[in-house]
Structure 1
Amino acid sequence: MQRGNDDEVWRSIVENYGERPQLDDAPTPVEPVEPDPEPYAAYVDDPDPVPEPEDGFVPPPPPPLPRPTRDRMIAWIGVFGSPAILLLCLLLGVSLPGIVSYLLVSGFVGGFVYLVWRMPREPRDPSDDGARV
């Protein structure tokens, strides 16, 4: 390799790179700006009150949350309750009988399969964004 030649090429590139800016000999002094001792004093003394609505509109109460059917509630309990019980027993060091562990695992799998089986088969309308008026 030609190390010496590469160094000369780089040195010539750096020396001939563009025009060099002309710098003043002495920088101009900058006057210091005094900070405001209380920058938020104007906001503390007289806060701007929130304006009251002029028409006095009060929205109606929201409708109650929908209640799932009994079969779906049991499936959801199986999907979330079974792993929660198994995890709690594992963390507390409680040993479950084999049949109870089997029932909890089958409750999870059965609930999941039931919820997937009950999902709607037809696709949603692509122009429906879910908004209701």
Structure 2
Amino acid sequence: MQPERPDQPDRPEGDDEDQAWRAIVENYGERAELDEPPAPEPPRQPDAPFGGRFGDLRSFGHEDEDEPFIAEEEGFEPPEPPPVPRTTPDRLAAWIGVFGSPAVLLTSLIFSISLPTYVGYLLIAGFVGGFLYLVFQMPRGPRDPWDDGAQV
């Protein structure tokens, strides 16, 4: 009689299914003989900064004497930038109201400067009035019906 094992149910000794599975597992294909893999070589630590992950940064910005920068040969000069756009005085006053009023109120709050009541109301009115003026001056429709906003 077979000794009882808790992991297997009671089966007779000559169980054909059990023997078939053992035979399949034991004879499953030929076992491959693997050679010992070569020991991996330690990675070479380059002398470049950051381990060379970003190339050799020491030569960044240096030009070879034999190969000067192409733009110097051609004499390229970028065009003059366009002048800074000037705004009208009414819009300038609105922008000052939108950004200047909160700045004055915040500064007086931080430094504990007591403002007269009417000055506080004027600063708040300047902020609200400037904001409303800028909103109402915005264009009502698109510049071009086919314009998607991208400009080259």
* TM-score bucket (shorter structure): 0.5 to 0.7
Q: Does 1:38 align with 2:58?
A: no
Moved over 4 A (4+): 22-27
Correspondent of 2:111 among 75, 80, 92:
92
Give the match's secondary structure for 1:112. helix
In structure 1, distance between residues paired with 2:92 and 2:106: 21
Runs (5+) with no aligned partner, structure 2: 1-24, 26-30, 50-55
Letter in 2 for 1:30: A
Calculate the aligned-residue CA RMSD, in Å: 3.2
In the alignment of these two chains, the number of paired residues is: 109
TM-score (norm 1): 0.65
Higher relative contact order (CA 8 A, sep 6+): 1
Correspondent of 2:132 among 96, 104, 113:
113
TM-score (norm 2): 0.58
Residues 24/82 of structure 1: CA separation in 2 closer, same or farther (3 Å cut):
farther
- Give 1:59 shift: 1.9
Correspondent of 1:59 among 78, 82, 104:
78
Of 51-60 and 73-82, deviating more is 51-60
Residues 80/29 of structure 1: CA separation in 2 closer, same or farther (3 Å cut):
same
- Give 1:23 shift: 9.4
In structure 2, distance between residues paired with 1:113 and 1:25: 80
In structure 2, distance between residues paired with 1:31 and 1:130: 53
In structure 2, distance between residues paired with 1:34 and 1:117: 66
Q: Which has the higher Rg, Structure 1 or Structure 2?
A: 2
In structure 2, distance between residues paired with 1:32 and 1:101: 74
In structure 2, distance between residues paired with 1:120 and 1:63: 23
